[in-house]
Structure formats: structure tokens, C-alpha cells
Chain A
């Protein structure tokens, strides 16, 4: 049954421009998708093992340790995930992390100081 309220909404929509109508139609069509986008990060990590994930952090989440978020990108290569992040405004809250184990063994960096006596920064063995 079409209610009076629904008819009133339709009449309002008919007065809008084509772009405004398109925006409303797109929003309605993607409503279930938008709601389902917020996912548990533990499940996302299990779904994409050993990948770099970029997550949009929704309102209300602990920004230091979010438990849920919208998946922006996932890829085995760090650069591919960050490429997607770069397209977002810098004011959007983003959390980027690797879902696999951190294996720092064997990685080393040496900083050469002014007296040419290097300080060695070694991670792991």
C-alpha cells in the first residue's frame, strides 16, 4: 500500500534536478552495500591473510585500535594498498596494517653519521 507520506516524498523528488534524482537513486540502490561495508577487522584479516589492508575508521571506533571498519583496499604489495589510500582526502581517518606476521629478522639499516662512524640499526638477528 502506497502511503500519503511516500506520495509526498515522490512529489518532492519529481521537483529535483536530474543530478539530484540520480544521487538519490544511487544512494538508495547502494544502501545495503554501504551498511554491510563496516566489517569486523578480525574477519577481514582472516579473509585476506598476509596482505596490506587499508581501512576507513567509522565514527565511534577507537582510533588507536579499531575493531571494525570499511575496507578501502587490500593487496599483497604495500604500494598497491597505499596507492588507494592516496586517493582519499588527508582528513579521512585511515588505518593501514599488514595481516601477516611481522618478520624483522635479517633487516638492517646503517645510518652514517658526520664522523663516518656508522650507527647500526638492526632489527632482529
Chain B
């Protein structure tokens, strides 16, 4: 089933990067940063815990951050709801993000590769379509 959303992004959402609010597992709304350069979606351990993810038993994926190399859990978020566009079982790596980043999630290609994405920054328009 094709799903499509078209959003007018608020000014705060496109100052330096592109931010979008999204709801995870129906009850947790956070701001995510659209990151086409990231292979996986990254969420913080706090968000994963709030979503009830079983991180101890999750498979691991090796990552290297600016400061060190580590192996982090790779979990499945049951439901990602982007303004009514809903995807189930979205893979997310769990990694601490610096506070200065100002977001709890980097939405990477593990999600975006399932979407047709149109970003019109001068008009603050974001269009996402999935099949």
C-alpha cells in the first residue's frame, strides 16, 4: 500500500539541518535529523529503553564514533509514525549521541531507502512516499 505525506516544515526544522518530529510506538514523540549519510538510523539508549527494546539480546553492529570504536545493539522499533506515514519494524542502532547535537535520533538510510523523498528547502516542503 502506498503511503504519502506532504509537510510544511516549521522554520526551526530547517535552520542548519532538516528536523522532523516523529512518533515512535505511538506514545513517544521526538525530533529526528534526516541523515542521508548514515547507513542506519541511530537512536539514543534512553529512547530505546522508553520503547521497551531488549538491548541485551539484540544483535550487535560495530561502529566507530569520533572518539572510539564500539559495538552497539541493533534493535527493531515496532512502529515509526511520520505525520501519518507509518512503517513497521524499522532497524535502529542504539548509540549515545552528544547532547550538543540536540536530537535523539539520526534517521538514516535503513529507513530512507524505503521512501521516495522530495525536499524543497526554499519552500520548506517535505514529501515522503513509501510503497
CB closest residue in chain A, given B40: A111
Chain A positions within 8 Å of B, measured between CB atoms, are: 52, 57, 63-66, 76-79, 82, 85-86, 90-98, 100-113, 118-124
CA distance A105 to B65 in the complex (A): 14
Other-chain contact of A118, B17, B30, B47, B64 (Cβ < 8 Å): B64
> Are B27 and A94 closer than 8 Å at their CB atoms?
yes
Interface residues of B in 87-131 (CB under 8 A from A): 93, 95, 97-104, 106, 108
Nearest first, the 8 closest Cβ-Cβ pairs linking A and B are: A121-B38, A82-B46, A102-B102, A98-B102, A110-B64, A95-B29, A112-B62, A119-B39
* A64 & B33 in contact (Cβ 8 Å cutoff): no
- CB atoms of B28 and A96 under 8 A apart: yes
For chain B, the count of residues having a C-beta within 8 Å of the partner chain is 50
Cβ contact within 8 Å between A121 and B106: yes
Q: B30 near A97 (CB under 8 angstroms)?
A: yes
In the complex, which residue of chain B has the Cβ closest to the Cβ of A76? B99
Rounded to whole Å, the gap between the CB of B34 and the closest CB of chain A is: 10
11 contacts between A and B (CB under 8 A): A52-B99, A78-B44, A82-B50, A90-B27, A90-B51, A92-B27, A95-B29, A102-B19, A104-B101, A109-B63, A110-B65
